[in-house]
Structure 1
Amino acid sequence: MKWYNVIIGLIKRIKSDLPLLITGSLLFYYLFKNELDMLNSYAENELMPHITNDTDGILIDNLDESRDPDNLFSSGDKVVESFKNKEDKIKDSSTVDLYDYNILLEKNRFFPIIQDSVDGKDMFTRLSITPSDTIKNVKSLSRKLKYLLVDKFTWQASYDHIDESYPHIQTKKFMDNGFAVDAQLSKIKTLFQETFELYSATTSNSIDELKPISRKRIDNGNGFGRTLIGSIDMFYLLDMDKEISDLIDKLTLEDTLVTSKNLLNTNENFITIISSLISGYELSEEREKIFLKIAKQLSKVAIKAYDTPINGLPLSELPFKSMIQNRFALRKSSIFEIAGNILELIKMSSLTKENVYISTGLNVFRKMVESSRNVFNVDYLFPTIIDPSGCQILKNDKHEERVISKKGTFLKTIYNGEYINCMQRDTFFSANDYDNVDSTGEQDIEFIDLINEDGNVNYLFSLLKSYHLLNGNGELDFKDYFEKSFEIMNKYMFYKPNLPSDILNKEEQANFVFFTPISASKRQVNDLEAEDEILIKQSLRVKSQHCQLGGMFLFASKLFKNATYSALGEQLINGCIILPKLTNLNVIPESASFDKCNENGNCFSFDTDKKVESLLDGSFLDDKFELESTSYFTAEDILQANKIGLNNVEVSTHEIALQERLKEGIPLIKADRKRSTGNPIASNRNDAGDNSINSPEGNNLENKKVYKLTTSKADIMGKPFSVDKKKWTNSDHPFYINSIDSKFRMRPEFIESLFYAYRITGDDKYRRIAAETLEAMIGYIRHVHKKHVEISAIEDLYTLKARDELPYFWFTRTLKYYYLIFSDVSTYSLDDYIFNGDGHIFKKTFLV
């Protein structure tokens, strides 16, 4: 009764004041409600509070069309530029002019911008990426994140713990004992020092790359001096103390990195610059704090690229100096730019214990998984160009009504200076989607490759390394995704060329394979039978970058104890070993394409007369789509690999069962008639079939995918040839080669695979091959340049024409992997360190 009496007493005391309290509370509530209603009204009615529209433009730099789009707003004389002519701006007074910078800036608070690209070719894009007068450099950018949630995934202490069953990646037995080869190390160190001195003497050390012949400086990266910054770990590897000291003094004095660029490439920020700084910090035994400090500064800027609505997927080019920051990811983005930074984001969280990085990285992987089935023509592997925006701009016709009937959620946004409504998507989707406003309605062709042109992004290899960095722990199943991706690759992305009978010896003929990108299109939909026909064309173009894949599969073979991956990795490397011989060169050219061998047991039956005849009657160019039902690698391949001692892996029970299936003639996958959902724009459901990885997107109507396979004829379409001489006209390569890009850019991917192969298998033949390729490479370069000290790429290996290029990856990857393969095997063991896509070295933390 005591508490009851107290309450009664309080009510009696405030009884007389109660009407006043209620009245005040209502006034207080309606005051703020009116303010919110007013702001919402401004947004919904496209009106602006207290904005004057008496300006024709904004203050920006000279907009010379001939200048590099990235530098449209670089330092220079300020000019007033009108984005639209006055007569174009005469509109009804109630219409909002989104070409007015002040209006756009205010409206962008409520409505995000969606763009195809940010290359500055149209007026609206130029307006939207104009630098702010208040943002001068990386250090001064401190805007808060708007969309990113840091609690999706968190950095956990369990990631540092390693299970007893976790495999060793690097073998413990080396045929040559794994000691350092001092003569080779000395040679490589001299090469690095000579070429770096050439770079340093010609540039200010803040230029991205050097043209060594003309002595011109090129700034084709983010403007931070990626050759210099990217060489940090090589300085430590080669004990170049002066260069380390000079760089530390420079960074300490400036206390930041400064760039004149207004667009920062997100991939380069993480893969090249931030990872270099991390590597320098860890290789200095964490003494040089300046490296970590600047890595943190730049990461806080770079993470802004992921601060996008709906999906949290990154802007490939971040206009970091613009105040207009509320943006979707670009509608036409490279999959490598979207999925390429997961490893680096996880590493940043492991160093800083800030959850925003790992949360962002694993969110990207989760979106990959959600988009991996029933969205694109081929499951689990993505087209090189995708739409990651999550905001689909639909056709404005009756077709839109069909899509809208699926009850999608729409969002008001700004596109090309106008308001539009886009439908929200939870996944990536095709940049050529039939429902897109800019779709031509023609056949959607999706081109699929695994490695970007620069060769530093292979998202599957990045996933393997992320799994390794997390010591096999984590909330998401990297292993399952990799295995399902492999099943598709095994089906469509490997081939053997048809070659003359006498070009290779028996041992060379037996165990090699080439990788090929593919193009996939949907020819028709059979509504009655609920069947989609997916046509796949193998390009048959082998790129120098593809030589990295051998090392990737050998890495996967140890990580997942899978003998199939080991056999494949060995054969891919063997393909790159013999490629110079097939092209009559001593080094690997930029790319080459061949005729495909359609009978794997008879791949050395190339007939010149038959090829000429088929070219004359046109039958060679016919598309003959055939139903595929078996995978490329079979039990015989694995057994043969085991016989010749190629596999240095432990075989799991699952793998033994797999091999038994293969012996019985059962293919690894059955992709010829595969269940798939039809329209990807649909209500969510989780019933995606036995092969799903928790894909939420789909609908209740299921279509069968019928896969049919052929080869591309693009490389020989219209190519002149001589009937009498039975050779290509005006071409130096043999007739059994359909095309060749005979540039030599001193690429790192082949030596990278040789390095992994040596460390994983312990076979010293990979050191011998590395020594031979190094000698051949330097021999070509010295010959082309008349034995001068200059080292640059080669434009044409047949004519020995020089190419005025010294790529930054010569310093960051090519010479590094040559140095490491001849180093003592205890140097940066694969069990203790991870090399990112750009070759930078991360420590792998683990507790048993």
Structure 2
Amino acid sequence: MPRMRTRHIAICVCIVTWVYYFLPGEEAFSYAYVARSSYAADHGSTAVLARYMNDLFHVPPIFATPSSFDWGSVNFTYPPKLTPKLPAPVTKRPRIQHRFKPDARGIAAIQEQRRLEVKRVFEKSWTSYRSKAWMKDALKPISGAYVDQFSGWAATLVDSLDTLWIMGLRDEFYQAVKAVAKIDFGKSTTPTVNTFETCIRYLGGLIAAYDLSGHEVLKTKAIEVGDLLYAGFNTKDGMPVDFINFEGAKQGAGLVVEGQVVSASPGTITMEFSRLSQITGDDKYYAAVSHLMDVFYHGQNDTTLPGMWPMHVSMSEMDVVSGNQFTIGGNADSLYEYLPKAHTLLGSADPSSMKYETMSRTFMDTATENLFFRPMIPGDEDILVSGNVDVWPDGPRLDPESEHLTCFIGGLFALGGRLFNNDEYLETGARLARGCAYAYKAFPTGIMPERYNMVLCPGPDHRKHCAWDEEVYATEAAARTQYTSNLPKGFTTAKDPRYILRPEAIESVFILWRITGDPVWRETAWEMFQAVANATDTEFANAAIVDVTVVDSKKEDYMESFWMAETLKYFYLCFAVTDLISLDDFVLNTEAHPFRLSKG
């Protein structure tokens, strides 16, 4: 090797070492991660050092434009408690991700082609958003128009930041950061602000983009949004409002908590607030959400289905017990999702955080016993589906209705299996993920419907296999004739036959791939991607389809930000190098935003 080239490489290695060990913690991690994964995923390891230096020393000079109102200056009528303090960084976690070996050359080439095809679909959507709906919440993928849903803060832009970074689209990323730097979170196009959506899309998106890039502008804007959401805790009992009265919150007057909300709404703040405290060193965010989750913790075993919480709760009364409807699906889903993930982020060494492990194990055991069933199908595939439970005076009754939103649960159980060293959880997760993959493959479009019914296997244990019975199936289907049309055998309804670009099924497939290393999951992901990309394609991007039971179904002029933030990200990660967003380095929020796992 020529002496000059050797010298250059040595200099580069010294710079990398200096950055890793001597830059402040968050920035050091972020830039080191760029070198190891993000750029390497797109260009191969030989170019890593050069691009690493480019990201480190040639980042565009972007400065935040302060919002027109400083949410951190609000004088609260009901100041939230400032304890407990944030737990110390976790010193040891169980290994989550499979120990991958490099793919054989032929397999690697196939996966690379697939990765690039997912990236192509993303770039088409992003380019159309950039040209036709820039700084708006969402692109309308058929007309090329736009729609604002969330206070006029460019939801798709913020939601897609980390996907741009992960796919190696650095120029597009920094263009987006320049735009984000100018968003005014002191103004809203709506009189109230949705706490849930603002938390998962905006705060989550900004935190993840900061965790990946280390750009201070993103941290600054995350604090602005965090303080806005923190103002929603200015209530008599310290419980958050579901919708923040924007102008009232600025005045610091006590806000009034709604009488009843879906349980997922207050239950889906833990990760974002906890990570924001980790990033800023300010305990106030963690303390607020810890008190909130104490209410769920203390009520968990007092409900009519002990171990789970009803679909609707009253935070004004701090009542998470009353109610008889239970589900893992819509209205409750991310409440359960955040329990194992909060444990991953925070650990169980601190008294204030140990509750997340307890709540996780308890709900997982309850759901396994009461909500999951093995449907009667013509074949012998070993699958599980998550239904709903209504609790009547004579006991719980399982309703075999499921929905696309429940499909996250397979990946979550697999994650729980690794976190808690529980093989039964892992196997249950695999069976649940196979259940959603089965639903995709069963329908003519290769895509599952938004909501559907199947036939319960008879007997006291609905998780056991039963033989196909044509007569039983016909009777069940006939009883639901108002929903029956073009259904594959085993399905008795497609109550809501749409597909609205949802990510939950591919989310679980991705997690099972990363946890088990079984290539069947990657093949499943490719089949799903081809079906989704083909059925939803439009001139500008991708659109929701009206009826998955019909090939070439009519499309809706609708594409939510989660298409680029979640669905395409999960597909991409199935085919990218496996240390890109490793599950041992990151935990993803319910909008697929990866948060760095702090390590002691």
Q: TM-score, normalised by structure 2?
A: 0.81
Q: Structure 2 vs 1, CA of residues 280 and 580 (structure 1 numbering), >3 Å: closer, same or farther?
A: closer
Between the aligned partners of 1:832 and 1:160, the Cα distance in structure 2 is 13
Given the alignment of the two structures, is residue 511 of structure 1 paired with residue 382 of structure 2, yes or no? Answer: yes
Structure 2 letter corresponding to 1:516: G
Between the aligned partners of 1:186 and 1:350, the Cα distance in structure 2 is 35
Between the aligned partners of 2:232 and 2:186, the Cα distance in structure 1 is 18
Between the aligned partners of 1:562 and 1:148, the Cα distance in structure 2 is 41
Q: Structure 2 vs 1, CA of residues 175 and 485 (structure 1 numbering), >3 Å: closer, same or farther?
A: farther
Q: Which stretch of structure 1 is more off in the superposition, 205-214 or 272-281? A: 205-214
Which secondary structure does the structure 2 equivalent of 1:597 belong to? Answer: coil
Give yes or no for contact 1:175–1:763 (8 Å, CA) kept in 2. Answer: no
More helix by share: 2
Of the candidates 357, 362, 374, which is equivalent to residue 484 of structure 1? 362
Between the aligned partners of 2:453 and 2:299, the Cα distance in structure 1 is 31
Between the aligned partners of 1:605 and 1:837, the Cα distance in structure 2 is 36
Aligned-pair identity (%): 21
Between the aligned partners of 1:380 and 1:578, the Cα distance in structure 2 is 29
Q: Structure 2 vs 1, CA of residues 270 and 199 (structure 1 numbering), >3 Å: closer, same or farther?
A: same
CA RMSD of aligned residues (A): 2.6
Tell me which residue corresponds to 2:217.
290
Tell me which residue corresponds to 1:352.
280
How far 1:719 sits from its partner (Å)?
3.7
How far 1:603 sits from its partner (Å)?
2.1
Between the aligned partners of 1:510 and 1:480, the Cα distance in structure 2 is 32
Tell me which residue corresponds to 2:457.
597
Of the candidates 497, 503, 520, which is equivalent to residue 375 of structure 2? 497
Instruction: Please give the per-residue CA displacement for 1:806-836, whole angstroms capped at 9, x wherever unaligned.
Output: 1211110001011111111111211111111
How far 1:373 sits from its partner (Å)?
2.6
1:593-672 to 2 correspondences below 5 Å:
593-599=453-459, 603-608=466-471
Tell me which residue corresponds to 1:305.
232
Q: Structure 2 vs 1, CA of residues 601 and 832 (structure 1 numbering), >3 Å: closer, same or farther?
A: closer
Give yes or no for contact 2:412–2:429 (8 Å, CA) kept in 1. Answer: yes
Tell me which residue corresponds to 2:209.
280
Given the alignment of the two structures, is residue 314 of structure 1 paired with residue 240 of structure 2, yes or no? Answer: yes
Between the aligned partners of 2:185 and 2:500, the Cα distance in structure 1 is 32
Which secondary structure does the structure 1 equivalent of 2:532 belong to? Answer: helix
Between the aligned partners of 2:157 and 2:149, the Cα distance in structure 1 is 14
How far 1:595 sits from its partner (Å)?
1.8
Given the alignment of the two structures, is residue 795 of structure 1 paired with residue 549 of structure 2, yes or no? Answer: no
Of the candidates 494, 498, 519, which is equivalent to residue 743 of structure 1? 498
Instruction: Please give the per-residue CA displacement for 1:778-800, whole angstroms capped at 9, x wherever unaligned.
Output: 22234xx5xx4542111112341
Give yes or no for contact 1:781–1:791 (8 Å, CA) kept in 2. Answer: yes
Given the alignment of the two structures, is residue 327 of structure 1 paired with residue 259 of structure 2, yes or no? Answer: no
Give yes or no for contact 1:389–1:428 (8 Å, CA) kept in 2. Answer: no
Between the aligned partners of 1:451 and 1:313, the Cα distance in structure 2 is 23
Between the aligned partners of 1:428 and 1:450, the Cα distance in structure 2 is 16
Tell me which residue corresponds to 2:99.
172
Given the alignment of the two structures, is residue 190 of structure 1 paired with residue 120 of structure 2, yes or no? Answer: yes
Tell me which residue corresponds to 1:428.
320
Between the aligned partners of 1:446 and 1:302, the Cα distance in structure 2 is 30
Q: Structure 2 vs 1, CA of residues 471 and 172 (structure 1 numbering), >3 Å: closer, same or farther?
A: farther
Between the aligned partners of 2:442 and 2:165, the Cα distance in structure 1 is 39
Give yes or no for contact 2:234–2:252 (8 Å, CA) kept in 1. Answer: no
Tell me which residue corresponds to 1:765.
520
Of the candidates 68, 73, 78, which is equivalent to residue 142 of structure 1? 73
Tell me which residue corresponds to 2:32.
none
Between the aligned partners of 1:718 and 1:574, the Cα distance in structure 2 is 25
Tell me which residue corresponds to 1:577.
437
Which secondary structure does the structure 2 equivalent of 1:380 belong to? Answer: coil
How far 1:611 sits from its partner (Å)?
5.8
How far 1:469 sits from its partner (Å)?
1.2
How far 1:147 sits from its partner (Å)?
2.7
Q: Structure 2 vs 1, CA of residues 846 and 538 (structure 1 numbering), >3 Å: closer, same or farther?
A: same
Structure 1 letter corresponding to 2:94: P
Instruction: Please give the per-residue CA displacement for 1:557-603, whole angstroms capped at 9, x wherever unaligned.
Output: 00000011011011111111211344444122212101211146662
Give yes or no for contact 2:444–2:548 (8 Å, CA) kept in 1. Answer: no
Between the aligned partners of 1:241 and 1:842, the Cα distance in structure 2 is 19
Q: Structure 2 vs 1, CA of residues 175 and 490 (structure 1 numbering), >3 Å: closer, same or farther?
A: farther
Instruction: Please give the per-residue CA displacement for 1:604-653, whole angstroms capped at 9, x wherever unaligned.
Output: 33223x566xx6xxxx7xxxxxxxxxxxxxxxxxxxxxxxxxxxxxxxxx
Give yes or no for contact 2:299–2:321 (8 Å, CA) kept in 1. Answer: yes
How far 1:550 sits from its partner (Å)?
0.8
How far 1:450 sits from its partner (Å)?
2.2
Between the aligned partners of 1:368 and 1:360, the Cα distance in structure 2 is 14
Of the candidates 140, 148, 151, which is equivalent to residue 219 of structure 1? 148
Between the aligned partners of 1:429 and 1:490, the Cα distance in structure 2 is 20
Given the alignment of the two structures, is residue 337 of structure 1 paired with residue 208 of structure 2, yes or no? Answer: no
Between the aligned partners of 1:540 and 1:251, the Cα distance in structure 2 is 44
Between the aligned partners of 2:321 and 2:78, the Cα distance in structure 1 is 21
Q: Structure 2 vs 1, CA of residues 239 and 584 (structure 1 numbering), >3 Å: closer, same or farther?
A: closer
Of the candidates 571, 585, 590, which is equivalent to residue 837 of structure 1? 590
Tell me which residue corresponds to 1:154.
85
Instruction: Please give the per-residue CA displacement for 1:751-805, whole angstroms capped at 9, x wherever unaligned.
Output: 11111111111111111111111112222234xx5xx454211111234111211
How far 1:213 sits from its partner (Å)?
1.5
Tell me which residue corresponds to 1:133.
none
1:696-707 to 2 correspondences below 5 Å:
none
Q: Structure 2 vs 1, CA of residues 155 and 581 (structure 1 numbering), >3 Å: closer, same or farther?
A: closer
How far 1:358 sits from its partner (Å)?
0.7
Q: Structure 2 vs 1, CA of residues 749 and 146 (structure 1 numbering), >3 Å: closer, same or farther?
A: same
Which secondary structure does the structure 2 equivalent of 1:803 belong to? Answer: coil
RCO comparison, higher one (Cα < 8 Å, 6+) = 2
More strand by share: 1
Tell me which residue corresponds to 2:327.
449
Of the candidates 532, 545, 563, which is equivalent to residue 423 of structure 2? 563
Give yes or no for contact 1:732–1:798 (8 Å, CA) kept in 2. Answer: yes
Give yes or no for contact 2:310–2:320 (8 Å, CA) kept in 1. Answer: no
Between the aligned partners of 2:368 and 2:71, the Cα distance in structure 1 is 49
How far 1:736 sits from its partner (Å)?
4.5
Which secondary structure does the structure 2 equivalent of 1:346 belong to? Answer: helix
How far 1:427 sits from its partner (Å)?
4.3
Number of residue pairs the alignment of both structures matches: 521
Of the candidates 297, 315, 334, which is equivalent to residue 369 of structure 1? 297
Q: Which stretch of structure 1 is more off in the superposition, 253-262 or 577-586? A: 253-262
Instruction: Please give the per-residue CA displacement for 1:274-302, whole angstroms capped at 9, x wherever unaligned.
Output: 12111222211x2x211111111121111
Between the aligned partners of 2:256 and 2:481, the Cα distance in structure 1 is 43
Q: Structure 2 vs 1, CA of residues 570 and 237 (structure 1 numbering), >3 Å: closer, same or farther?
A: same
Between the aligned partners of 2:408 and 2:90, the Cα distance in structure 1 is 29
Q: TM-score, normalised by structure 1?
A: 0.58
Given the alignment of the two structures, is residue 819 of structure 1 paired with residue 566 of structure 2, yes or no? Answer: no
Given the alignment of the two structures, is residue 250 of structure 1 paired with residue 168 of structure 2, yes or no? Answer: no
How far 1:474 sits from its partner (Å)?
2.4
Give yes or no for contact 2:181–2:221 (8 Å, CA) kept in 1. Answer: no
Q: Structure 2 vs 1, CA of residues 387 and 429 (structure 1 numbering), >3 Å: closer, same or farther?
A: farther
Of the candidates 523, 530, 543, which is equivalent to residue 403 of structure 2? 543
Of the candidates 460, 466, 481, which is equivalent to residue 336 of structure 2? 460
Instruction: Please give the per-residue CA displacement for 1:661-693, whole angstroms capped at 9, x wherever unaligned.
Output: xxxxxxxxxxxxxxxxxxxxxxxxxxxxxxxxx
Q: Structure 2 vs 1, CA of residues 579 and 255 (structure 1 numbering), >3 Å: closer, same or farther?
A: closer
How far 1:314 sits from its partner (Å)?
0.9
Unaligned runs of 5+ residues in structure 1 are 1-135, 391-425, 431-444, 524-532, 621-714, 722-727
Between the aligned partners of 2:415 and 2:89, the Cα distance in structure 1 is 20
Q: Structure 2 vs 1, CA of residues 234 and 719 (structure 1 numbering), >3 Å: closer, same or farther?
A: same
Tell me which residue corresponds to 2:39.
none
